[in-house]
Structure 1
């Protein structure tokens, strides 16, 4: 069996709402309270569990994903892994030098320059100054902030902070690399470069723990993952299995509230959700017309297909465009077929309601996750099934 790079064993983390230790008078009661506490999983008034009995193990050289909705406990777990916090109960251990990027400021000292912070971070990771110096030019070049490297980082934008922070963490020879969702603040070109770098790191047998809402990236980079919900493990296993569970559960949770023209009850695929590029996806959507007057000011049933990697809309259509007559009242069942002429990747098919004149989405609904398979031979979202032939210029050949 591979040696463990990361071990997270039955970990619990407790917080107290409004707790602060700004003065000795705050700290002493907190210490006494803990000293006379039960030491078990009970909670006192104003306390809550941010992480509850979470366990996972990441072998050396594996990329491991952590996914879940906002507030699920993902960032707390990363702070426990990097010893920014200590578990209330359980064991958290890492084997090797850790490079971490947990927030936009990347742990930088705001009054120091970018250059000074690079060397500071290297020292924190236990590296000698000579080691950091050998990597310095690579770090700055990758980050794209060379022009401002001698400027205090308090003047950096969030994107500049993130680029330099990631570059430091990814180039100073970590044995374990831990990254939070902070990469989302960078532009698309840097995000792609960063994920390419992570792929290189994984290929070099370095352990990676990654939190991201970009499910396609998680599926591409990681072999296993854990899905968190309200601080607990909702599912763990092979990455595609975990992503599929998350997509299905998210679709089931999505419901509209308030005054609405339509109510969507059920949206699901009746064919496989693993579809080759150019293949067909069949779905059924059931619901009810709640208010015909409100419905007349909408485009009826709306379908929006989005890339899960970028959030970009690949396609949208509605019943009004398709000349499908909606009932005046009562329930309906819509059968929908889509030819997925898109590049391979993860997509969401969303049921929405849009306003007729502004085309603004005024009502969300359930969604279905789809994995489009095939060889990636092009960029972008749309799959145009490219063909190309080449022949040597006949006139040029004769002239020769």
Structure 2
């Protein structure tokens, strides 16, 4: 019998658009409200309403013990679906039937009270899952050991780092015996060792009959954990089934070469009120005998953005990822003070560095080296083709990188040949 049944689920949001000049400060808000009260508002601030469907007509069932991955681009409806399953929001139409207790880890600090200590939040979360104090106490030491927060157990969690938040939140969700466990991309905040440990714990939970729902852009992690996968696109469930088959279908749709993205004005550009993207471009230096990127090809990445702040210390952080979501490398510029205006960054990726395959480049704009102002995910997508010379082996070259480091061999000592035996006749 299914533990989750989703029937004809749709979720609609109403987006308000205000024409004319908006109110930017508290003084503007008060002034505009007073003018409207006394009928003296001369600005055309007509509000129009736009319907946005985050989900449309979604249907699926999940059996007990299934490990279900959910994949798709940003904005595909994955997080909205998880919030409906977690009963954080209600669907506009359709119904969801769930059998069993649900533990959700959808964002950093989910279910935590910031003023309470780590110890107190463990008991609070257990109570929300319907567990008694004695049941929580039996798992308490394992939770603390898994999260690695022993030294900070009696510290208010508002002082925790994002990594500590995630470790404790996952440890609570994984150890307090929920029948259904829902985990969003939040695990990406943790370090590689914690991610590996968490995936192992989810596999162990599934083996004991618990159901796992896991959303991640890291398709390798989805393949390693999940036996079934749902593929969402623009609010609709495009495909569902065995994980390797669904991911292969997803990759075939998203693998599109895109070397240039450009916007002419800040108004149409992606970003926010602080920064907006003008251009991101990958410029290959092709070999004379080629018009495509291969393992020999050096490339230059150029990135331009508008800074709308009077003065800010900014740096760029570049992530090069495999198509399955694994980060190949991450590099950043020095933090520099900038005034308002157009800023450019440039990076060179040398030839004989990347192996053949499909890659994406994302770029973060960071303030004061810690605050992410805007993250442009999947900004550039490109393919690297294979090239071999003087090599007779034609199997797949393993790995994501393919550098040509100095690597030589030499004879240290030749083998000694025994002299032939000499026979003498009398």
Q: 2:253 aligns with which of 246, 249, 263?
A: 249
1:238 aligns with 2:242: yes
C-alpha contact 1:262 1:287 (8 A) present in aligned 2? no
Give the total of aligned pairs.
283
Query: What is the CA distance between 1:224 and its match in structure 2?
Result: 1.1
Q: 1:337 to 1:181 in 2, by over 3 A?
A: closer
Secondary structure in structure 2 of the residue aligned to 1:366: strand
C-alpha contact 2:358 2:381 (8 A) present in aligned 1? no
Q: 1:318 to 1:168 in 2, by over 3 A?
A: closer
1:11 aligns with 2:9: yes
Map 1:43-192 to 2 at 5 A. 45-192=49-196
Query: What is the CA distance between 1:15 and its match in structure 2?
Result: 1.0
Query: What is the CA distance between 1:11 and its match in structure 2?
Result: 0.3
CA distance in 2 between counterparts of 1:154 and 1:106 reads: 12
Q: 1:263 to 1:227 in 2, by over 3 A?
A: farther
CA distance in 2 between counterparts of 1:191 and 1:261 reads: 31
Aligned to 1:34: none
Q: 1:49 to 1:351 in 2, by over 3 A?
A: closer
Q: 1:320 to 1:109 in 2, by over 3 A?
A: closer
TM-score (ref. length: structure 2):
0.59
Q: 1:350 aligns with which of 359, 369, 375?
A: 359
Aligned to 2:311: none
Query: What is the CA distance between 1:310 and its match in structure 2?
Result: 3.3
C-alpha contact 1:8 1:93 (8 A) present in aligned 2? yes
Query: What is the CA distance between 1:305 and its match in structure 2?
Result: 8.2
Q: Which of the two has greater helix per residue?
A: 1
Q: 1:263 to 1:229 in 2, by over 3 A?
A: farther
RMSD: 3.5
Aligned to 1:326: none
Q: 1:18 to 1:113 in 2, by over 3 A?
A: farther
CA distance in 2 between counterparts of 1:222 and 1:261 reads: 34
CA distance in 2 between counterparts of 1:55 and 1:46 reads: 25
TM-score (ref. length: structure 1):
0.63
CA distance in 1 between counterparts of 2:106 and 2:321 reads: 31
CA distance in 1 between counterparts of 2:384 and 2:284 reads: 17
Secondary structure in structure 1 of the residue aligned to 2:327: coil
Deviations 1:101-155 (A, max 9, x none): 1110121011111111111111110111110011111101100011111111111
Q: 1:229 to 1:309 in 2, by over 3 A?
A: closer
CA distance in 2 between counterparts of 1:309 and 1:300 reads: 21
Query: What is the CA distance between 1:205 and its match in structure 2?
Result: 1.4
CA distance in 2 between counterparts of 1:262 and 1:381 reads: 20
Of structures 1 and 2, the larger Rg is shown by 2
Q: 1:173 to 1:337 in 2, by over 3 A?
A: closer
- Can you give the 5+ residue segments of structure 2 that lack an aligned partner in the other structure? 18-47, 263-278, 302-319, 330-347, 362-378, 386-398, 403-426
Q: 1:311 aligns with which of 327, 345, 350?
A: 327
Secondary structure in structure 2 of the residue aligned to 1:166: helix
Query: What is the CA distance between 1:299 and its match in structure 2?
Result: 2.9
Divergent runs of 4+, >4 A: 258-264, 285-288, 317-322, 380-383
235-244 or 141-150, larger mean C-alpha shift: 235-244
Deviations 1:260-279 (A, max 9, x none): 68699xxxxxxxxxxxxxxx
